Structure 1
Amino acid sequence: MPPTSSLPPLQNGERAAAAARQVKPPSRRKGAVLLLLLRAAALILSAAGAAFAATDGAALRRAPFRFLLAAEAIVAVYSVFEAGAAAWEVARGATLLPEALQLWFDFGHDQGFGYMALAASAAAARDAAACGGGAGACLQADVAVGLGFAGFAFLAVAALVTGFRLACFLVTGSRFPPSSSSPSSY
């Protein structure tokens, strides 16, 4: 005879409350926390790059630096929204948009805005290399270019993470990789 519990079985409302109290496994939260950190770093670097580019009056007379300013400002605004979505996912354990839409949105926009930041930084770097005003005259432009490349680097890593999440979704139907404790079907 199987052992019986002295506790009454859980009712529907109690089951939902018990399920809500369960903590998400740390491995599932790692990706969301990593994305939040990458988004915050991209936001900080691109906003700082835009500020350096905007306050260099001599550099703004040249088209590559206006392109850098515009690209960094766009990436900063995008990063604000994506950092908010990542914070939502860390806090709630669910994506802001439906999962498939959120994964494709993140992956596509990370790549698009990342390449835009890279192109703007490369164009401004070529123009900054031709600066003939001495060592100190081009320092602010060089810092703006460096921050643009750094912002791109964080967006590129975020694109890798979102690409991995998208690949997991396409293979398993979930943005999380399959757990290693699940039985294989081989």
Structure 2
Amino acid sequence: MPLQNGARAAAELQGKASASPPRRRGSAAALLVLRVATLCASACAAAVTATGGGALLGRASFRLLLAADAIVAAYSAVEAAAAAWEVARGDTALPEAVQLWFDFGHDQGFGYMALAAAAVAARDAAAAAAACGARGDAAVVLGFAAFAFMAMAALVTGFRVACFLATGSRFAPPPSSSASYY
């Protein structure tokens, strides 16, 4: 079984298998920022939609936007807590392989859900601009922003999965100091 949580990279650097994990947390910090940004955008989109009154909630597309953004906000809150845990402790909350695939798969699914809901609401807001007004436009823009942050998080988690598959750790391998060039 490959060494977990960066222990392989640390073992290669120190030359022994019992090394402690390295203190590289750049991807975890980036994920924390993206998770908080997604949480803020999706929660604001849900709040704007929910307070839009009958003009917005009377339309099925905006009820879908409300539901999708509420789900994305709840997911982002849980994932922000997991990212904060990883930044603070240097370890994933779940076993590393499970956490990486969980994050990547859910980022993909919830990202596409947020995109679909925002696209349907945008089409509806364009068709009935007078009825939806500025609140409808703001909800759509915030819904697309939530998708954009979720898509960036999916790129980071995809990179982490690729590193895990290539090296057995979520960290990219360190540059070899004894590399020979031909």
Which category of TM-score, normalised to the shorter sequence, fits these structures? 0.7 to 0.9
Q: What's the counterpart of residue 14 of structure 1?
A: none
**118-127 vs 56-65, which deviates more?**
56-65
Map 1:70-149; keep pairs closer than 5 Å: 70-133=67-130, 138-149=133-144
Larger radius of gyration: 1
Match of 1:37 among 33, 36, 39: 33
Q: What's the counterpart of residue 48 of structure 1?
A: 44
Instruction: Give the letter aligned to residue 174 of structure 2.
Output: S
Match of 1:172 among 155, 167, 172: 167
Q: TM-score, normalised by structure 1?
A: 0.82
Following the alignment from structure 1 to structure 2, what is the Cα–Cα distance between the partners of residues 104 and 184? 32
Q: What's the counterpart of residue 154 of structure 1?
A: 149
- Structure 1 residues 183 and 175: CA distance shift in structure 2, 3 A: farther
> How far off its partner does 1:181 sit?
3.1
> How far off its partner does 1:110 sit?
0.3
Higher relative contact order (CA 8 A, sep 6+): 2
> How far off its partner does 1:131 sit?
1.6
User: Where do 5+ consecutive residues of structure 1 fail to align?
Assistant: 1-18
> How far off its partner does 1:130 sit?
1.1
Give the total of aligned pairs: 162
> How far off its partner does 1:132 sit?
4.3
Map 1:14-33; keep pairs closer than 5 Å: 24-25=22-23, 28-33=24-29
- Structure 1 residues 182 and 81: CA distance shift in structure 2, 3 A: farther
- Structure 1 residues 123 and 185: CA distance shift in structure 2, 3 A: farther
Instruction: Give the letter aligned to residue 43 of structure 1.
Output: L
Q: What's the counterpart of residue 15 of structure 1?
A: none
- Structure 1 residues 185 and 167: CA distance shift in structure 2, 3 A: farther
> How far off its partner does 1:184 sit?
5.1
Following the alignment from structure 1 to structure 2, what is the Cα–Cα distance between the partners of residues 107 and 62? 32
Instruction: Give the letter aligned to residue 100 of structure 1.
Output: A
Instruction: Give the letter aligned to residue 103 of structure 1.
Output: L
User: Where do 5+ consecutive residues of structure 2 fail to align?
Assistant: 1-18
Q: Structure 1 residue runs of 4+, over 2 Å off?
A: 181-186
Q: What's the counterpart of residue 10 of structure 2?
A: none
Q: TM-score, normalised by structure 2?
A: 0.84
